Structure 1
Amino acid sequence: MTVIGAVFRPQNPPERLREVVRVAEESGLDELWLWEDCFLESGIASAAAALAWSERLRVGIGLLPAPLRNVALTAMETATLDRLFPDRLVLGVGHGVQDWMGQVGARVDSPVTLLGEYLDALRALLAGERVTTAGRYVRLDDVALDWPPRTPPRIYAGARGPRSIRLCGAHADGTLLDSITDADGVRAARTLIDAGRAEAGRTGEHVVVANLLAVTGPDAEARLAAERTPQHAPGAGVAGDARAVAAAVRELVAAGADTVVLQPTANDQDPEGFVRFVAQEVRPLV
């Protein structure tokens, strides 16, 4: 079954999150996703609040920037949230925006190397292992969590470039593809992910999460055009009513996406209404 989510964008003030969570919970939304964009809102703090304010809603973080966060800290925070709210946190990590990483003195020469080392260490720590490693960037000396998750959670990684997408297949349990990607991009990503999985000998399920920029209501076409950038693939994004959006979701699923997360524009003034639209109008048509 296709999982449908929606994004609470961090361009909204944090104090609006509680009402959005309430609407998501009551309307039956599968997943609510949060971003840790510099320098807007914390992914971990926002996720903790959203999980506490809900009973069944799954909350995704897409994504935590690996250069900004020590892997042991990410493991501690993830394990704590997972034990408090079992099976409801979906964690994504990634390179982070390189300009932002440079602003805080965290930029590295090889983001791909860092992410591979980070994912391996994070997955081991969350599996309850005692980890000693001396990589190029990730260095741990006899580190183990006192309170690991009862069941190791799935760890997703976000990626754009071919090397990073292939790395996701080799080192992560799922891949987050952002809204610049269209159906052709999802198909290409699936091929790269499968190659990475085969290379690493991984056989478990690998979840592909596609983000879809979706705009509805008055002036939808103009608002979509204003949000698009030169990086967006030709078929990325959709403007129109629930039927048009659902058709775009189905196209991404046919291309290989397991989860589709709908993303409003940055200047959308009604995040509650967007969540309600996704859950009550789009979801039944998928």
Structure 2
Amino acid sequence: MGAVFVPQLPPERLRSVAQAADQAGLDELWLWEDCFLESGITAAVAALAWTERLTVGVGLLPVPLRNVAITAMELATLHRLFPGRARVGVGHGVQDWMGQVGARVESPMALLREHLTALRALLSGERVTTQGRYVRLDGVALDWPPAHRPELLAGATGDRTLRLTGEVADGTILTGGTTVEQVRRARGLIDEGRAKAGRTEYHQVVVYLHAATGPDAAARLEAERVRWGYDTMAGHGVAGGAEAVAEAVRTWAEAGVDTVVLQPTPDDPDPEGFVAFVAQEVTPLVRN
């Protein structure tokens, strides 16, 4: 179970939300690197430093913005500073945003494959030489690789990307609004990629789930429906108390999700209260 610190909140709010999550016993607090809001790695390091036991996720880092050596250096440092407490995903990014900064590539799929392949090798402590379409390294190795290679997560929505994550990633992050039926279909496509690569280890699936609680929960979730362009919020999120939210979480979990990360509305009146609600009221109901 997790919750999102949405980047529509100012960065200076992160400390109180992270500490509230830590004190409440939340499993995971997730951060986004949406353009042009907040940095994923900087925010993750701060949240980890301010807390004692909380796992912090980043979903996700757009690979067109980063040389893979920089990604590897950042992740290696993060995992050495806070072993076992970070989960970081990468993805090909929103193409309109990538175009805005001059980083849009002709083949986002080729870039993501090359980036993930090189990143896995670098974080495994290997010396890497490759001359790909986008990723080019000449005898690059990390001086301070992590003690154990961390899981590599990748974000995906389309069919080809889902197959790719099954082939080259250890887990897949699915966006908020992913329905139960879409989760089941995604699992099938991921498994096709795993079979192609001969991978037999378990593949983690993380999904964001729109959620709102409190007296105005239904109205705030309706605003999210309009914002995201859903015809209906049914199947895309949940509004209500702990019982209703826990039931929704169980439904998505039964469809094949390992980590459900509740995504509050950007105008949630009490972000600290929301993470405590997830940890102390929803999570016990899900696990009983």
Q: TM-score, normalised by structure 1?
A: 0.97
Q: Which residue of 1 aligns with 2:18?
A: 21
Instruction: Identify which of 99, 121, 136 aligns with 2:96.
Output: 99
Aligned equivalents of 2:14, 2:216: Cα separation in 1: 26
Q: Which residue of 1 aligns with 2:261?
A: 261
Q: Which residue of 1 aligns with 2:120?
A: 123
Query: How big is each residue's C-alpha offset from its partner over 1:137-188, in whole Å with a ceiling of 9 and x where there is no partner?
Result: 1111110000000000001000111111111000100000011201111101
Tell whether the 8 Å contact from 2:154 to 2:173 is kept in structure 1 after alignment. yes
Instruction: Identify which of 108, 115, 138 aligns with 1:111.
Output: 108
Unaligned ranges ≥5, structure 1? none
Aligned equivalents of 1:227, 1:15: Cα separation in 2: 24
Unaligned ranges ≥5, structure 2? none
Aligned equivalents of 1:195, 1:60: Cα separation in 2: 26
Give 1:234 deviation, angstroms.
Answer: 5.2
Query: How big is each residue's C-alpha offset from its partner over 1:49-92, in whole Å with a ceiling of 9 and x where there is no partner?
Result: 01111111110000000101111001001000101110111010
Aligned equivalents of 2:83, 2:279: Cα separation in 1: 23
Please state if 1:246 is matched with 2:246: yes
Amino acid in structure 2 at the alignment position of 1:131: V
| SS of match in other structure, 1:226 | helix
Q: Which residue of 2 aligns with 1:77?
A: 74
Amino acid in structure 1 at the alignment position of 2:80: R
Give 1:202 deviation, angstroms.
Answer: 1.0
Aligned equivalents of 1:29, 1:149: Cα separation in 2: 25
Instruction: Identify which of 206, 213, 216 aligns with 1:216.
Output: 213
Please state if 1:230 is matched with 2:198: no
Aligned equivalents of 2:106, 2:88: Cα separation in 1: 24
Q: Which residue of 2 aligns with 1:146?
A: 143
Query: How big is each residue's C-alpha offset from its partner over 1:67-121, in whole Å with a ceiling of 9 and x where there is no partner?
Result: 0111100100100010111011101000111111111100111111111111101
| SS of match in other structure, 1:212 | strand
CA RMSD of aligned residues (A): 1.1
Give 1:231 deviation, angstroms.
Answer: 5.5
Instruction: Identify which of 121, 130, 133 aligns with 1:133.
Output: 130
| SS of match in other structure, 2:153 | strand
| SS of match in other structure, 1:129 | coil
Aligned equivalents of 1:63, 1:270: Cα separation in 2: 24
Q: TM-score, normalised by structure 2?
A: 0.96
Q: Which residue of 2 aligns with 1:184?
A: 181
Q: Which residue of 2 aligns with 1:8?
A: 5
Please state if 1:168 is matched with 2:165: yes
Runs of 4+ in 1 over 3 A off after TM superposition: 231-234
Aligned equivalents of 2:268, 2:130: Cα separation in 1: 45
Query: How big is each residue's C-alpha offset from its partner over 1:179-211, in whole Å with a ceiling of 9 and x where there is no partner?
Result: 120111110110011110000111112100011
